[in-house]
Structure 1
Amino acid sequence: MKILVFTSRYTASRDIIDEDFGRQVRLFEQLRKFGHEIDFFCVDYKKLENRNAKLHGIDVFIRPFNPVKILSLISNLRKIIEKRSYDLMIATSDPLWGVIGYFIAGKYGIKFVYDLQDNYLVYKSYKIPFFGFFERHVTRNSDLVMAASNILAENAKKIRKGRIATIPNGADLRIFKPLNKINSRKTLKLPVNARIVSYIGSIQKIQGVDILIKAFEELRKEI
């Protein structure tokens, strides 16, 4: 099967191509091992690069984007679809790609999967007038919806009667593995016997980290 993944180049402030990072890369490099042909169409709204690349045998088409030239992005996407003849499109990382991808996939008779990897209600795309109406339409009518968590899947069930597949994020066990706690604390120069509460993730206000910091301040008083 020939699959096109329609995604942002940057997720969690990281470059998924140059840094070989993220849900998209890890998930679809594994899917490729089952004999599927995978391409990435990556929207670049930071460096605004226009180039092709290769990652784990995946053909990557990086194309620039700004809101003023959205028609140019759509034109680039259509050219690649017409040239490569895909069986399936998967839109992920931003609800705007979900809406654009859904209607373009429909035009070319391509099956469409919508990947909910986050709470898209807080994304900037939702500031576009009537965007919520179109995004709910995509959630309701896509051939399949994938969700990165059970919570996201439950939210989608409020809109959608069709199939929803929960595919949670994973971890590279070659990097993340259990180690001796005392030795690790000594290496990191942390108090050996203290009770330590940590946070792992991106530090962005949109993720509510400011609330978490305030909660940690209150928790510190208790422990």
Structure 2
Amino acid sequence: MSKDVILDKYARLYEIPNQLSLLGHEVECFCLSYQSHKNGDWDESTNSKKLIWHSKSYIGLNKLSILSYPFYLLNLLSKNKPDIIIAASDIPHIVMGQWLAKKLDVPFVADLYDNFEGFGQAKIPGMKFLLRQAVCKAQLITTTSQALAELVTQEYGAKGIIISMPSTIDHKFFNCADKFEARKKLGLSNNKKYIGTAGGLYKDKGVEVIYEAWEIIKDRIANVDLVIAGPFETDLPPPRSARVHYLGALAHQDVATLFQALDVGIISILDTPFGRYCFPQKAYEMLACDLPVVVADIGEMKYLFACEPDMLFRAEDAEDLAKKLEHQLLIPKQVNIPIEDWSVIIKSLELRLTNLVS
């Protein structure tokens, strides 16, 4: 997700354990770092919650020892047996979570925040098989979209309870705010129109069509600039121009400031196994900031914006994206879609979890 779940307190990977702890449950989280972070423990417990995070990393010559991590966790959890195990993040964590739950004889929950078969890990022989096998053994499965829930039901053949549970947002940051003040914070002008996006600026996330559409837009509308933020690949850097503002990889709350500063937000998704089953969190983030948007007509977005065809563009079609952006710049339109708080969503999930252990 290009974020640190512990330090950035980012999205569902943070909010599921956080909200469960606020509901009175003792929650302990174990993270495996693939990027050689230092080992660490973070205790977020307060008078109102008990939440502890652990991060384990295998650095340098110790990388091969990563294969012992499941046994390390099993030893820890055997000393203080949990009532339930929830696994998330990616294929190895889902597979490991199911294995641990079986060893400890406790219920297993798999949280699929994306279609993990669209991740690079899935190219490793046997990984898809292990993922499907683990998910099919879960008593409860949460997915980020209805399309993914249907995939798990129809193709995986999962028999557990399956809940479509799209990620939501932190309304403390993502809300309607003064556009001029947001632009001032980001060093943007009040005399221009801005289109843009934030997130992973990668080819497999659909950024290429945004750059192609920009080449069309910049020649048609003189007073429009492109603003983008997020990590990018060296072979596909952001366009270099006085009218392109690359803001780097922004902190989560600063992404909200960007969406408050824009005139039109862009959500590009490719027609891939990943794109067809994902639920881009930036959709809710932009909508919460009352930002007019233009969205690729793929997967869940096609249904979410079904009543607003002028906001949908054909995926990977730069000309259609440019056309829809022009329309939104000329006649801005917002869409009112209710967005529940994490507290409401996880409260509903908690009822399902407690039924598994009662």
Q: CA deviation at 1:133?
A: 1.4
Q: 2:66 aligns with which of 63, 70, 78?
A: 70
Q: CA deviation at 1:119?
A: 2.0
Query: 2:122 corresponds to which letter in structure 1?
Result: Y
Q: Which has the larger radius of gyration?
A: 2
For 1:67 and 1:125, locate their aligned partners in 2 and report how far apart those are by CA, in whole Å.
17
- Percentage of pairs with the same residue: 29
The yes-or-no answer on 1:213 pairing with 2:175 is: no
Runs ≥4 in structure 1, deviation > 6 angstroms? Answer: none
The yes-or-no answer on 1:91 pairing with 2:87 is: yes
TM-score, length-normalised on structure 2? 0.53
Query: 1:61 corresponds to which letter in structure 2?
Result: H
Q: Does the 8 A contact of 1:119 with 1:152 survive in 2?
A: yes
Q: CA deviation at 1:43?
A: 0.4
Give the alignment's Cα RMSD to 1 decimal.
Answer: 2.5
Q: 1:186 to 1:22 in 2, by over 3 A?
A: closer
Could you say what secondary structure the match of 1:61 adopts? strand
TM-score, length-normalised on structure 1? 0.81
For 2:54 and 2:79, locate their aligned partners in 1 and report how far apart those are by CA, in whole Å.
13
Q: CA deviation at 1:146?
A: 0.6
Mean Cα deviation higher: 64-73 or 133-142 = 64-73
Aligned to 1:176: 174
Alignment of 1:118-197 (within 5 A): 118-158=114-154, 159=156, 160-181=158-179, 188-191=188-191, 194=193, 196-197=194-195
Q: CA deviation at 1:200?
A: 3.3
Q: CA deviation at 1:48?
A: 4.0
Aligned to 2:113: 117
Aligned to 1:105: 101
Mean Cα deviation higher: 18-27 or 80-89 = 18-27
Q: Does the 8 A contact of 1:185 with 1:191 survive in 2?
A: no
Unmatched segments (≥5 aa) in structure 2: 216-317, 327-358
Q: CA deviation at 1:40?
A: 0.5
Q: CA deviation at 1:181?
A: 4.8
Q: 1:38 to 1:106 in 2, by over 3 A?
A: same
> Which one has the bigger strand percentage?
1
Unmatched segments (≥5 aa) in structure 1: 1-11
Q: Does the 8 A contact of 2:145 with 2:166 survive in 1?
A: yes
Could you say what secondary structure the match of 1:41 adopts? strand
Could you say what secondary structure the match of 1:75 adopts? helix
Query: 1:126 corresponds to which letter in structure 2?
Result: A
Could you say what secondary structure the match of 2:199 adopts? coil
Query: 1:174 corresponds to which letter in structure 2?
Result: K
Mean Cα deviation higher: 72-81 or 159-168 = 159-168
Q: Does the 8 A contact of 1:17 with 1:55 survive in 2?
A: no
Q: CA deviation at 1:184?
A: 5.1
Deviations 1:26-85 (A, max 9, x none): 222111122111000010121342232213541112111486323321122112211221
Q: Does the 8 A contact of 1:64 with 1:73 survive in 2?
A: no
Q: CA deviation at 1:177?
A: 0.9
Could you say what secondary structure the match of 1:198 adopts? strand
For 1:186 and 1:44, locate their aligned partners in 2 and report how far apart those are by CA, in whole Å.
37
Q: CA deviation at 1:105?
A: 1.1
Between the two proteins, the alignment pairs up a number of residues equal to 210
Q: 1:63 to 1:185 in 2, by over 3 A?
A: closer
Q: Does the 8 A contact of 1:14 with 1:21 survive in 2?
A: yes
Deviations 1:99-143 (A, max 9, x none): 121122111101101110012112232122222112111222211
Query: 1:39 corresponds to which letter in structure 2?
Result: E
Aligned to 1:40: 29
Aligned to 1:199: 197
Q: CA deviation at 1:182?
A: 6.4
Q: Does the 8 A contact of 1:122 with 1:206 survive in 2?
A: no
Could you say what secondary structure the match of 1:126 adopts? helix
Could you say what secondary structure the match of 1:18 adopts? coil
Could you say what secondary structure the match of 2:54 adopts? strand
